[in-house]
């Protein structure tokens, strides 16, 4: 990134909302996008996801294959979502107006809001627990509701402050987080190598009943991590110049997700140690507590540092985009800063109520998977739309809703494109019916595949087939594909008018 104004940028609050970023302000590079994505996932929250194969009873080797499969497939689906920001200079929810209508874009806004709150909460809870647990072993700090509450509050307020200042300080935080957290995770190799057994067999072996259900379930949990970024990539990639090669942008997205194998495999390897030395923690689904129980004393400080750094990077990537997007849904009431502050306060309240009053930690883990099931078909429709339109968008017409106007290329039927909505709604509903998370949530069709969770393949396939069918049977207006002859842009651009 161009650092000529870096000091000023870090000390000033970002004023850009979801309006198109001017070309002269687009000085980010694909490597900056890499840092933001990887920094947001290089945390304890991802290590917790890496422990799921062991929780499901898989061996270490089967767990590795499940994680790699989930991350690679998820990264390939996610990669094209990084292209909308440079093309349109705005976030992905606003860009989705091209395929769902300028009013239908609220689907993306709603999904990003739920995803942000869920993953922000999981990040704060896991990082806060790790910090307090490590401090307890390091300096005998009592683990009480008060100390946990202080840790949660500290993380939440730090994250909220960074999000209010905006994109450039987020980039600075994640630049530090990428290297620091990676080094600390790699340091864990020396901490746990003596106790690690790569031949850990688990409780369910290949050929036994329940193996494939556990394997696919673990792969889908790993896949949920890259998919969770789908609604947020445009928040950061909108600062990348439009002329940047598309291949470089997608490669940065894929590379960032492959890099998350560091915390994923850290979580998997240490979970096998916990399963052998402290099996009660695995039985109670308490990976973080088990990790602290088996860690050597000299690794407690790195655990605390990972908790602080990881909590900051994950929280900022989740919360920033939601504040940005809510400001566009209510442009006359909320600026980006006000929207970020409002969503942040609500999220902090949710964190404390969920942790101390309603015991929602396990429920939010399930909730996050259900959100991903709904987000995946939305992403598929966006990607198919990108290909069908051959990358053509009119960024100015995407801002009709934000400006309080009517009309434009993406007005369709009173601001709603029922082709995109008609594919997303049934795909999301059917996908939810096929979810199978034993002990947490099992949809009405969740047992049809012998206990195997096939919700994501079903929702992916259904969204693709239904959307392409609707586009074929009910072709979209010609103007959404851009000028095809020598007529001027003004001649084919639908009339804009102020909304009443």
Q: Encode burial over 16-52: b for 16+ CB neighbours within 10 A, e otherwise.
A: bbbbbbeeeebbbbbebbbbbbbbbbbbbbbbbbbbb
Distance CA 474, CA 229 (A): 31
pTM for the structure as a whole: 0.81
Contact yes or no for 86/95 (Cβ under 8 A):
no
All residues at 6 or more sequence positions from 420 whose CB lies less than 8 Å from its CB, including other chains: 96, 99, 100, 101, 104, 381, 385, 467
Q: 101 — alpha (psi -120 to 50), left (phi > 0) or beta?
A: left
pLDDT of residue 202: 84
pLDDT of residue 490: 45
Q: Tell me which DSSP letter residue 497 carries.
A: E
pLDDT of residue 14: 52
Distance CA 178, CA 39 (A): 5
Residue 401 structure tokens: 């809703």
pLDDT of residue 305: 76
Q: Encode burial over 104-124: b for 16+ CB neighbours within 10 A, e otherwise.
A: bbbbbbbbbbbbbbbbbbbbb
pLDDT of residue 225: 86
* pLDDT tens-place string over residues 146-184: 888 888 888 778 777 776 765 566 666 666 766 777 788
Low-confidence ranges of the chain (pLDDT < 50): 1-8, 10, 485-493, 499-500
pLDDT of residue 488: 39
Contact yes or no for 156/238 (Cβ under 8 A):
no
pLDDT of residue 327: 66
pLDDT of residue 205: 84
> Rounded to 10 degrees, what is the CA torsion of 80, 86, 90, 92?
0
The residue count for the chain: 500
- CA angle 159/162/163 to nearest 5° reads 85
Mapped onto helix, strand or coil, the DSSP state of residue 287 is: helix
On the CB side of 275, CA atoms within 13 Å amount to: 24
Distance CA 441, CA 128 (A): 26
Contact yes or no for 170/160 (Cβ under 8 A):
no
pLDDT of residue 60: 95
pLDDT of residue 122: 73
Which among 432, 448, 298, 434 has a CA at the least distance from the CA of 375? 432
Helical (H) or strand (E) element with 413: none
| Alpha helix ranges (H) inside 295-446 | 300-329, 336-352, 361-388, 395-398, 418-433
């Amino acid at each position: 990134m161009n650092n000529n104004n870096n000091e000023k940028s870090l000390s000033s609050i970002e004023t850009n909302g979801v309006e198109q970023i001017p070309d002269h302000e687009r000085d980010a590079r694909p490597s900056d996008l890499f840092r933001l994505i990887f920094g947001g996932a290089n945390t304890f929250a991802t290590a917790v996801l890496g422990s799921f194969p062991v929780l499901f009873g898989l061996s270490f080797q089967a767990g590795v294959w499940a994680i790699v499969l989930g991350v690679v497939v998820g990264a390939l689906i996610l990669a094209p979502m990084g292209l909308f920001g440079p093309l349109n200079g705005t976030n992905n929810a606003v860009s989705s107006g091209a395929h769902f209508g300028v009013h239908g874009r609220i689907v993306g806004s709603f999904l990003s809001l739920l995803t942000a709150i869920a993953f922000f909460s999981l990040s704060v809870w896991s990082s806060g627990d790790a910090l307090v647990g490590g401090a307890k072993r390091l300096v005998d700090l009592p683990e009480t509701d008060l100390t946990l509450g202080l840790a949660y509050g500290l993380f939440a307020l730090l994250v909220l402050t960074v999000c209010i200042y905006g994109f450039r300080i987020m980039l600075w935080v994640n630049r530090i987080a990428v290297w620091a957290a990676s080094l600390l995770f790699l340091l864990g190799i020396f901490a746990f190598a003596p106790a690690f057994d790569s031949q850990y067999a688990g409780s369910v072996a290949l050929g036994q009943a329940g193996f494939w259900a556990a394997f696919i379930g673990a792969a889908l949990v790993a896949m949920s991590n890259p998919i969770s970024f789908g609604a947020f990539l445009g928040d950061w990639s909108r600062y990348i110049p439009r002329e940047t090669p598309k291949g470089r942008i997608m490669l940065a997205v894929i590379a960032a997700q492959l890099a998350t194998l560091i915390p994923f495999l850290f979580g998997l390897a240490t979970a096998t140690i916990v399963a052998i030395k402290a099996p009660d923690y695995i039985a109670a689904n308490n990976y973080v507590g088990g990790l602290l129980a088996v860690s050597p004393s000299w690794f407690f400080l790195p655990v605390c540092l990972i908790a602080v750094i990881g909590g900051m990077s994950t929280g900022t990537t989740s919360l920033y985009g939601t504040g940005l997007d809510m400001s566009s849904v209510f442009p006359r009431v909320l600026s980006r800063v006000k929207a970020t502050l409002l969503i942040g306060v609500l999220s902090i309240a949710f964190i404390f109520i969920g942790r101390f009053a309603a015991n929602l930690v396990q429920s939010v883990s399930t909730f996050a998977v259900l959100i991903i099931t709904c987000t995946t078909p939305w992403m598929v429709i966006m990607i198919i739309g990108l290909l069908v339109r051959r990358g053509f968008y009119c960024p100015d017409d995407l801002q009709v809703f934000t400006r309080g106007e009517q009309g434009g290329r993406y007005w369709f039927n009173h601001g709603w494109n029922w082709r995109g909505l008609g594919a997303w709604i049934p795909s999301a509903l059917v996908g939810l019916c096929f979810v199978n998370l034993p002990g947490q949530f099992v949809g009405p069709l969740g047992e049809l595949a012998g206990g195997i969770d096939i919700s994501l393949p079903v929702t992916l396939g259904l969204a693709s087939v239904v959307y392409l069918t609707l586009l074929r049977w009910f072709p979209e207006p010609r103007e959404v594909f851009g000028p095809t002859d020598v007529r001027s842009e003004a001649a084919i651009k639908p009339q804009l008018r102020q909304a009443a």
